[in-house]
Homo-oligomer: A and B are copies of this chain.
Amino acid sequence: MQEIRLTPTSYIVLGLLELAGESTPYGLKQLVAGSVGYFWTLQHAQLYTEPERLATAGYVKETREEGGRRRRLYAITAEGRRALDDWRTGTTTELAELREPALLKLFFGADPKALAAAQIPANRARLAEYEQIRDSMPDDVPPGPRQALEMGIRFERAAIAFWEELAG
């Protein structure tokens, strides 16, 4: 049983396994794409390596399908739940970093209008996507994802307003 450090990626995998139950890496990929991936992207390769990493420390258990493709299936263990809970319970004063490429360019003197011309449609499209997700969300979705989505919507609105003002 190895000691490993738990990263945000680890908690995403643990959290999704808790929400969705036993899953394959590809299943996790689908889950990420439709939810947390909007504000925290992961490479698909990580969804193969991270569960394996978590397994070496006992946070998840790997099984394989018997017949056919013998795909890997991962399930969260009791220890995994405990780690996830500890993380969720601990408070953070850590602040978000606005690591936005466009903002960095703006900072270093890029033409605001040119940036805005690209950012406005991209942000509008993203906002529309969020609103569509919100309006078609099944009733059984827990509050966490709803609230995170709400933050996403607000952020997009703020970004659009900002770039529109810059564009004049």
B108–A100 touching, CB < 8 Å = no
Q: In the assembly, how many copies of this chain are there?
A: 2
The answer to whether A107 and B162 touch (CB under 8 A), given A93-B122, A118-B92, is no
Q: Which parts of A130-166 form the interface with B (CB within 8 Å)?
A: 142-145, 147-148, 150-152, 154-155, 158-159, 161-162, 166
A97–B150 touching, CB < 8 Å = no
Give chain B nearest CB distance to A62 CB in angstroms: 22
B96–A144 touching, CB < 8 Å = no
Assembled-state Cα–Cα distance A12/B148 (Å): 30
**Interface hit among A33-41, A49-57, A67-75:** A33-41
The answer to whether A101 and B92 touch (CB under 8 A), given A154-B162, A162-B151, A166-B147, is yes
A88–B107 touching, CB < 8 Å = no
Assembled-state Cα–Cα distance A168/B57 (Å): 39
The answer to whether A99 and B99 touch (CB under 8 A), given A119-B93, A154-B158, is yes
Assembled-state Cα–Cα distance A126/B97 (Å): 12
Q: Which 5 A-B pairs have the closest CB atoms?
A: A96-B100, A15-B108, A91-B118, A39-B98, A107-B148
For this complex, 17 residue pairs linking A to B, each with C-beta atoms less than 8 Å apart, are: A8-B99, A40-B98, A40-B99, A88-B108, A88-B110, A89-B110, A89-B114, A91-B117, A92-B102, A94-B101, A94-B122, A95-B100, A96-B159, A97-B99, A107-B144, A107-B145, A154-B162
